[in-house]
Amino acid sequence: MAAQFRHYKYFLLTLAVIAIDQTVKLLVHYKMVFGQIGEIKVFGDWFKLHYILNEGMAFGLQFGSEWGKLGLTFFRIIAMTFIAILLYKLAKRNLNSGLLWSMALVLGGAMGNVIDSIFYGVYLNNAPFDAITPWFHGQVVDMFYLDVWEGYVADWVPLWGGKYIALWPIFNVADVSIFLGVAILLVFNKRFFGRDESKQFSAEDFSD
């Protein structure tokens, strides 16, 4: 029983991320006023709580076309299913725990935003007015607002010189979880994917 729990303990972190993410989103939806009028300053002008809806991907990115949202939602479902299966398989082989906890963070964040996409269009009635169906067209609730900087970039700066740039990402708990999971994977990739681990990963990734 204890050995079996070791395979599933990483999913507890995934469930915790989902629970925290959904709790925060629902509190924001029911307790905050939408848009700038309901904005709450947390640390001066640079970090605020700001209720906004995101039709697309993490940090406000968009996925265009009428069927883009539906395609994005199904892509997320496929991706998180793949990650969940892979996480379980690698956990059974007792690979580096840091790798597995990182994957659990990414999985929790992905599932948190997928719940919004699948259900919020119906239960929170927040699907875009032109959506072909409210199912799978829910908008993701974002609330953490980093008002980093905005203004004109000096002419000598490559690519962005002379342009007006606004750096103010708005995101949620799920986005933070995905970002942290990916960042940890990138920073510690040599430790996670050492020679022995990479051989085991490539040879047995989907074996029982």
Q: How far apart are CA 23 and CA 46, in angstroms?
A: 24
- pTM over the 0.85 mark: no
What is the predicted pLDDT for the residue at 131?
A: 84
What is the predicted pLDDT for the residue at 65?
A: 55
What is the predicted pLDDT for the residue at 208?
A: 53
CB-based contacts of 101, cutoff 8 Å, min separation 6? 10, 13, 184
What is the predicted pLDDT for the residue at 46?
A: 85
Q: How far apart are CA 176 and CA 154, in angstroms?
A: 31
What is the predicted pLDDT for the residue at 193?
A: 78
Q: What is the mean pLDDT of each run of 10 residues along the chain (208 residues)?
A: 71 97 98 92 90 70 60 85 94 91 96 94 92 89 87 76 75 96 94 65 53
Chain-centroid distance of CA 1 in Å reads 32
Enumerate the active-site residues: 142, 175
Helices (H), 32-172: 68-92, 97-115, 121-123
What is the predicted pLDDT for the residue at 59?
A: 45
Q: How far apart are CA 95 and CA 13, in angstroms?
A: 17
